[in-house]
Amino acid sequence: MKHTYHIQGMTCNGCRTHVEETLSKIEGVRNASVDLEKAEAIIEMEHHIDVNTLQKSLPDKYSISEKRMVTMAETSTETKSKLEQLRPLFLILGYITIASILLNYNRPNWEGAMLDFMGLFYIVFSFFKMLDLKGFPDSFRMYDPLAKAVPFYAWVYPFIETILGVLFLMRLYVPFALITTLVVLGITTIGVTRTLLDKKSIQCACLGTALKLPMTEATFIENAIMIVMAISMLIGL
């Protein structure tokens, strides 16, 4: 018999391999095939094995559950859960916004605030990516088209964000930084949009792998805000 399960907590191919090998070693399991992008496992069993047994075999960072139809009540609970997971993202964006306003509250225009917001955005987000430079590229390649095609790009992306942040905060080569922002975030937004349309359950790498964030519409909005600000600033220049 074959059963399909949903698995949460996988962030890279190393996780996928570990989960697949662990499930395959369970007594009564003939074969286990794990898909990282779909966040699911197809397990072929000699006899029925309950979910608790499967869960106990896996490390605590992974959770496994049977795939089934979701009721309206469960959908509401899942939505609340996603909002809770996205709380760190909203907090960080809130702090960046407040800091940008405080740094420019007595200036005649808000161009400085926009540049500070974009600079702080890049610096803060690149910091979280730097916390796990080994794990970030695998997560990023799952949805960024350029990172999929050119693996090296995924490795240097955190450094690109850091450089862009410094340029905005120091007011250096601003037109170049704005155009680069449009290109870099434009490519990522295409990948995010495809992921959302395909309804894939994967982890967003915007805050690296230190914080487990689901890929949602909030990720699209986050990129869209930066793109709109970059276009606005270019028109102003």
CATH number reported for the structural domain that contains residue 25 in this entry: 3.30.70.100
Nearest to 206 by CA among 227, 188, 224: 188
| pLDDT the model gives residue 194 | 85
Report pLDDT digits (tens) over 62-93: 999 887 544 444 444 444 566 777 788 889 99
Query: For the chain, how many structural domains are there in total?
Result: 2
pLDDT band at residue 195 using 50, 70 and 90 as cut-offs: confident
Nearest to 192 by CA among 182, 206, 181, 174: 206
Radius of gyration of the chain (CA): 21
| pLDDT the model gives residue 136 | 85
- Domain-embedded: residue 99: yes
Full domain range(s) for residue 207: 82-235
| pLDDT the model gives residue 219 | 77
| pLDDT the model gives residue 215 | 62
Report pLDDT digits (tens) over 139-150: 888 889 999 999
Residue 203 has pLDDT above 60, yes or no: yes
